[in-house]
Each structure stands twice: as C-alpha cells, then as structure tokens.
C-alpha cells in the first residue's frame, strides 16, 4: 500500500481506539436510572387552585339546580296556559256562534219594528186625537138636537 493510505488507516484506527476508550469511561460514569415513585409538587398552590375550582363547581351546581327549577316552573306554567288558551278558545268559539245567532235575531226584530213603525205612522195619520173626539162628540150632540128638531117638525102619524 502506499504511504498516505496507510497513514490514514492508522489515524482512523487510533481515533477508533480513542472513541472506544471514551465510551468505556462514559459507561463507567453512568449509573442506573432512578425510578421516581413519588413526585412532589408545591401542593399549597395546587390545593388553592383545586379549592377554587371546587367552589366554582359547587356554585354552578346550585345555579343549575335553580335553573332546572325555573325551567320546570316555566313548563308547568306553559302547559297551564295552553289548557287555558284551549278552554278560552272553545268558549270564544261558542260566544261567536251565539253572537251570530243574536245578530240574526236582532236583524229580524229590526225588520219587524220597521214594519210596525210604518203601521203606527199610518194609524197615527188616521187616528183621532182627544180634541178630535171632543169635536166629534160636540158634533154628535148637535146632530142629535137637529134630528130631534126634525123629528118634532115631522107630521105625527094619525092614530097615535
């Protein structure tokens, strides 16, 4: 072999030995890994945070139970209102039917009253008032006097 290649090999072999030696030393320095069975963290801060979260959770539970109660009340009220509206809707329907019947009867009464008003107007036109009756009585009285005078002036039948 030629010289530069051989030098290169030697240098590589030397570097390899050095690396092996360093690896051996590193292995000797390395200890077995320690297993952590318990990890301690500043629990004071964590407890405060957990307590705060627990308080918030309790508040939310209370508010949720109140909201559930409100929802139950709304549902109950809503069903009461539904029944109320259905009942009143039926009543309104019956009232509308009766109102239509009343309107029809009222129309008939108005028609009858208009006819009667016309009849009364005709009767009133032909009917005598108190003054007319008094005048008629006076006229009848005068007619009776005139008839009596006429009867007195008539010749009496013989034989009477």
Tens digit of each residue's pLDDT (9 = 90 or more) over 54-112? 888 888 888 888 888 888 888 888 877 777 777 877 888 888 888 888 888 888 888 87
The pTM for the full model equals 0.29
Question: What residues have CB less than 8 Å from 159, skipping those under 6 apart?
Answer: none
What pLDDT is stored for residue 160 in this prediction? Answer: 56
CA atoms within 13 A on the CB side of 52: 6
Q: pLDDT by residue (tens digit) across 9-23?
A: 888 899 999 999 999
Asked whether residue 117 is domain-assigned, the answer is yes
Asked whether residue 48 is domain-assigned, the answer is no
Hey, is 156 helix, strand or coil?
coil
What pLDDT is stored for residue 81 in this prediction? Answer: 75
User: Residue 127 gets which letter from DSSP?
Assistant: -
Domain of 104 in residue numbering reads as 59-150
What pLDDT is stored for residue 4 in this prediction? Answer: 75
Asked whether residue 144 is domain-assigned, the answer is yes
Asked whether residue 53 is domain-assigned, the answer is no
d(CA 16, CA 47): 56
Cα torsion for 13, 18, 20, 22, to the nearest 10°? -170
What pLDDT is stored for residue 127 in this prediction? Answer: 73
Higher pLDDT, 44 or 146: 146
Here the tokens at position 77 are 């009220």
d(CA 76, CA 70): 10
**CA geometry: angle at 86 spanning 82 and 87, to 5°?**
115
Q: Is the pLDDT of residue 128 over 90?
A: no
- Count of residues making up the chain: 160
Percent of the chain with pLDDT over 70: 94
Number of domains in the chain: 1
Asked whether residue 142 is domain-assigned, the answer is yes
What pLDDT is stored for residue 43 in this prediction? Answer: 63
């Amino acid at each position: 072999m030629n010289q530069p290649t051989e030098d290169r090999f030697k240098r590589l072999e030397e570097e390899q030995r050095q690396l092996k030696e360093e690896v051996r030393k590193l292995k000797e320095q390395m200890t077995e890994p320690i297993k952590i069975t318990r990890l301690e963290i500043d629990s004071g801060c964590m407890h405060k945070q957990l307590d705060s979260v627990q308080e918030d959770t309790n508040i939310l539970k209370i508010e949720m139970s109140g909201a559930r109660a409100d929802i139950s009340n709304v549902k109950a009220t809503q069903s009461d209102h539904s029944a109320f509206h259905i009942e009143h809707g039926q009543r309104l329907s019956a009232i509308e039917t009766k109102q239509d019947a009343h309107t029809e009867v009222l129309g008939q009464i108005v028609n009858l009253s208009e006819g009667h008003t016309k009849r009364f107007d005709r009767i009133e036109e032909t009917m005598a008032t108190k003054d007319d009756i008094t005048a008629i009585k006076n006229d009848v009285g005068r007619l009776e006097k005139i008839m009596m005078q006429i009867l007195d002036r008539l010749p009496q039948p013989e034989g009477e």
